[in-house]
Amino acid sequence: MCLSILWTYINTITFDAQIQTRTNDKGPFELKLKNGPRIYSKADSVGISTPFKIIISSPSRTDYEINFPDSSSFPPNLFLTNASYGSTAYEDSVVYTFQYFGNKDLLLNGLQIIYMAKEDTFSITAPPIRLPFSSKIELIIARGDSLELNPIKPNYSFSNPWLFAFIIGILFTILTFLWWYHRSQKNITEPVQSSELPIYESPLRILKSELETILEDDFPKTDPTIKVYYSRISDAFRDYYQTLYEFPALESTSRELLEYLNQIAESTALITKIGTLLMNADRVKFAKFKPNEEQIRLILDESFACLDLLVDQHKRRLQAHKEEFQQLHGYPQNSEPGVPLQ
């Protein structure tokens, strides 16, 4: 009887193992995909400019490349400060760090997660998430504190204001005389030194030189070199606008720079080309997009085409920029850079 019971127990374990094997015939991606992507926040509410994190995770698949939403997919009142990516055997995820600049509850919906392969592309919509807005004023009202301001203390009245005005005038006159005397003595004792005019460098020439340097460098083949390649092209145009218009283009997002180009009435063709360059660079840097060799060569060709548009459309602005530089550095009339001044 003992042998019979033992034999029945062994058959039961084998049968359970077979059932478990048949249940797990589906790949981990198919099982995970049924659950769909997940989105959640480490904060239970949002406040003005207070950093908070949002995590989006989705099932992974070895033969597909996952593109998570970038900064352009989020509302304009959300400022993306950082995005870090991670992956496990069955799931990829990205952690966004945002700052919120609004005064209402934050609702995120319709975020698309794209799966890309050579011959197939499909997208999954992340579930919506709502974070309530909170502020310190609401906490004060809930606590019952008074929001009334205290009365302003009256200003101190001087008995004779003209006396103080007279004393201040005398002090100002003495200080002015001392400054003039010190300056005149310094001009007498110090010999006249020769100086040299600084050389003006055109922002357009600097941009062209940087693009030619990128063209002459080795063609990028690895992921790190491709990211550097796209960043150099994007930063070259950002530095051009920052130098020519004194707009902080290097510290601004692509959307902010394009809005500025609309404000200064750049042509539609130029805005379209520069927008394409910036967006492609953002996809490579932040969305883990891997361009092929043809796309890598095409973005540099588009950069030189954009350079030709700048040559035609920025002649007056470049001339004005040069004249401002000469006035700032005290160029005399009919002088050339590098000529010593006596």
Shared domain check, 127 and 47: yes
**Cα gap 285→243, rounded to integer Å:** 24
Question: Domain count of the chain?
Answer: 2
pLDDT (tens digit, 9 = 90+) per residue, 44-79?
888 888 898 989 888 887 788 888 898 888 888 888
Identify the pLDDT of residue 170: 92
- Would the pLDDT of 203 be above 70? yes
154 lies in a domain?
no
Chosen domain end from 87, 107, 136: 136
CATH of the domain at 60: 2.60.40.740
If asked whether residues 238 and 132 sit together in one domain, one would say no
Q: Which of 253, 319, 257 is nearest to 286 (CA)?
A: 253
Residue at 22: amino acid letter: R
Q: Which domain holds residue 119?
A: 35-136
130 belongs to a structural domain: yes
Residue 337 in any domain: the answer is no
Neighbours of 125 (CB within 10 A): 12
Q: Are residues 208 and 129 in the same domain?
A: no
In-domain check, residue 250: yes
Q: Please give the average per-residue pLDDT across 158-176, as a whole number.
A: 82
167 within a domain of the structure (yes/no): no
pLDDT for res 162: 77
Q: In angstroms, rounded to a whole number, what is the distance separating the alpha carbons of residues 29 and 18?
A: 21
Residue 53 lies in a domain: yes
The region of weakest confidence among 55-59, 97-101, 193-197 is 193-197
pLDDT at 340: 40
Q: Which of 109, 136, 163 is the last residue of a domain?
A: 136
The average pLDDT across 310-321 equals 87
Residue 44 within any structural domain of the chain: yes
Check whether residue 128 and residue 211 sit in a common domain.
Answer: no
Residue 323 pLDDT grade (very low, low, confident, very high; cuts 50, 70, 90): confident
- Longest Cα–Cα distance of the chain, Å, equals 123
Q: What CA–CA distance (Å, rounded) separates 233 from 207?
A: 9
Average pLDDT over every residue of 122-144? 74
Cβ neighbors of 32 (< 8 A, separation 6 or more) are 59, 60, 90, 91
- Residue 232 — pLDDT band, cuts 50, 70, 90? very high
Averaged pLDDT score across all residues of the chain? 78
C-alpha distances in angstroms, 239 versus 234, 242, 252, 258? 9, 5, 11, 14
- Give residue 205's pLDDT band: very low, low, confident or very high (50, 70, 90): very high
Q: In terms of domains, do 208 and 125 share one? A: no
Q: How confident is the model at residue 315 (pLDDT cuts 50, 70, 90)?
A: confident
Contact 131, 45 (CB under 8 A): yes
- Report the alpha-carbon distance of residue 252 to residue 237 in Å, rounded: 12
User: Would the pLDDT of 335 be above 70?
Assistant: no
Q: What is the pLDDT of residue 334?
A: 54
Phi first, then psi: give them for residue 145, nearest 5 degrees.
Answer: -70, 155
If we measure between CA atoms, which residue out of 43, 63, 65 comes closest to residue 134?
A: 43
Does 179 fall in a domain? Answer: no
**Residue 303: Cβ-neighbour burial (10 angstroms; 0-12, 13-18, 19+):** buried
- Look at residue 8 and tell me whether its pLDDT is greater than 60: no
- The confidence score (pLDDT) of residue 146 equals 54
User: Rounded distance, CA 78 to CA 125, Å?
Assistant: 20
> What are the tokens at 70?
């970038």
CA angle 173, 176, 181 (to 5 degrees): 125
The tokens 């060569």 sit on which residue? Answer: 297
The per-residue pLDDT for 95 is 92
